[in-house]
Copies of this chain bind each other. A is one copy, B any other.
Amino acid sequence: MNIARDNDGTVGKALSALELVAAFERPVRFSEVLEHSPYPKATLYRFLQTLTNQGLLQYDPDQGVYSMGMRLVRLAHAAWRQSSLAPISQDVLDTLYAQVGQTIHLAQMDAGQVLYVEKRTAIRPVEMFSQAGKVGPAYCTGVGKAMLAYLDDVTLEAALQKQAFYQHTQFTHADAESLKTELSQIQAEGFSYDREEHETGIICIAKAILLNGRPIGALSITTTTVRHSFDDLNEWKQPLTQAVEQIAQAAKDWQFPTL
């Protein structure tokens, strides 16, 4: 959905410094960040200072380490309510889960990657953030391909640029060409499949959620090769389509609650 996200101005650079800290999955020292940073010492230092001031990072003076700030959680809460499909999809997901009894994922796109915003599983209903906000690749997941299939040319090219095309399994698409061929097929058919492209034994059927022709998210039903065959996936087309349409309608209504 997003195109460039290159360094435009100071804000872009500061945010890229924030991502550097995020990349570590633990609190980090200044020097550790510096090693991975393209910025000179003084510059990076000031970035981290500013980000800390702003609450996007927090600094522990005892250990001299930086970690991600809680302001992000508050902002994400706003993002969640304001523009994720999750809050308007709760009931639909519950119904769909009751119908099919398989793992369900609701995802959106962020910078060419898949971002999971909600799910339903057999174990522990939902585990807060540990689940939401997770990212995954687009080129080898059902939801990812479903959304890519409906992107306009410019956005698609930008997104393809960012795909790693890492060969997770023998079925993973190896390059953009191969993927593109499947994308047009997905668009024609309306459904996208993951045929053990991401993980052996895991398959899924997915469908994009469209609003005015643009993909605003995707919904998938996942299962294993042990429990189901590829053909079985098609039996869920009807409930999946219904759920997708309901979410699309809810999203439309949400756009302008005031008008």
**Minimum distance in angstroms from A244 CB to a CB of chain B:** 19
How many of these chains are in the complex? 2
Task: Determine whether the beta carbon of A132 is less than 8 Å from that of B129.
Answer: yes
Q: Which residue from chain B places its CB closest to the CB of A254 in the assembled complex? A: B26
- Chain B positions within 8 Å of A83 at CB level: 27, 58, 67-70
Give Cα distance in the complex from A111 to B56, angstroms.
Answer: 11
Give Cα distance in the complex from A78 to B110, angstroms.
Answer: 15
- Chain B positions within 8 Å of A130 at CB level: 80-81, 87
Indicate with 1 or 0, residue by residue over A243-258, a CB within 8 angstroms of chain B CB atoms.
0000000000011111
Task: Determine whether the beta carbon of B1 is less than 8 Å from that of A58.
Answer: yes
Say whether, besides A125-B125, A132-B77, A111 and B71 are in contact (CB < 8 Å): yes
Indicate with 1 or 0, residue by residue over A113-137, a CB within 8 angstroms of chain B CB atoms.
0010110000011111111111100
Residue A12, interface by CB 8 Å? yes
- Chain B positions within 8 Å of A62 at CB level: 211-212, 214
Residue A44, interface by CB 8 Å? no
- Extra inter-chain contacts (4) besides given A70-B115, A74-B115, CB under 8 Å: A5-B53, A11-B54, A26-B257, A68-B75
Taking Cβ atoms with an 8 Å cutoff, the residues of A that contact B are 1-2, 4-5, 8-12, 14-15, 18-19, 22, 24-27, 50-51, 53-56, 58, 60, 62-63, 65, 67-84, 86-87, 108-111, 115, 117-118, 124-135, 211-212, 214, 254-258
A-B contact pairs, 7 of them (CB 8 A): A22-B79, A67-B83, A70-B109, A72-B78, A73-B76, A76-B79, A128-B132
